[in-house]
Amino acid sequence: MDIEIGTNVYRNTNGTIQVQGVPQLEISLKQPGGPIRLNYAHFDGVGRMTAKVVDSSLAVNERRALEMKKGPSDLLLTNSETGGVVLQVELKAPDVVAIRKAEFMTIKGQKLEITSEEWRVDKQRSARTTHDVNGGAVAIG
């Protein structure tokens, strides 16, 4: 599966996205045309897990921090208090998943932002790159 994160393209992934060395997201497809299956760990500013998504369902959701909307080819996590997008994932083609927008904390308490142009975390950023990860995980930060 290929994953697009902003304008960055990661080809031949296993669906795992490691943020600062820790697997924080895992995306898979039930079949090539979807639906999207998401596993995701949501952290607060001190690295404590406050929500967890397992197989595209909220398994842990302390204080109802997140809301989820699922469609046949997309998935949206929003912050319950602010309404801001936490994670937006969509199926772009049968074997291509795109993360166009995201804003969440890493396990190290730093904010990861994904825009339509780039991803950035701490002092690192990346835009308009293509990587073949040869069946491995995507590494951010």
Is there a domain that residue 132 lies in?
A: no
Q: What is the pLDDT of residue 30?
A: 84
Using alpha carbons, list the distances in angstroms from residue 27 to 81, 90, 98, 117: 26, 11, 10, 21
In degrees, rounded to 5, the angle at the alpha carbon of residue 16 between the alpha carbons of residues 12 and 17 is: 105
Is there a domain that residue 43 lies in?
A: yes
- What's the chain's Rg over C-alpha atoms? 14
d(CA 131, CA 140): 12
Is there a domain that residue 66 lies in?
A: yes
Lowest mean pLDDT among 13-17, 25-29, 30-34, 68-72: 30-34
**Structural domain range at position 102:** 2-122
> Can you count the helices (H) and strands (E) in the chain?
0, 16
Average pLDDT over residues 125-134: 97
| pLDDT value at 119 more than 90 | yes
Is there a domain that residue 18 lies in?
A: yes
pLDDT > 90: percent of the chain: 89
Is there a domain that residue 130 lies in?
A: no
SS (H, E, C) 92-110: EECCEEEEEEEEEECCCCC
Mean pLDDT of the chain: 95
- How do residues 47-98 score in pLDDT, each as one tens digit? 899 999 999 999 999 889 999 999 989 999 999 999 999 999 999 999 999 9
Using alpha carbons, list the distances in angstroms from residue 4 to 27, 47, 82: 12, 26, 26
Is there a domain that residue 51 lies in?
A: yes
How many separate domains does the chain show? Answer: 1
Looking only at the bridges linking them, the beta strands covering 74-79 and 66-70 are antiparallel
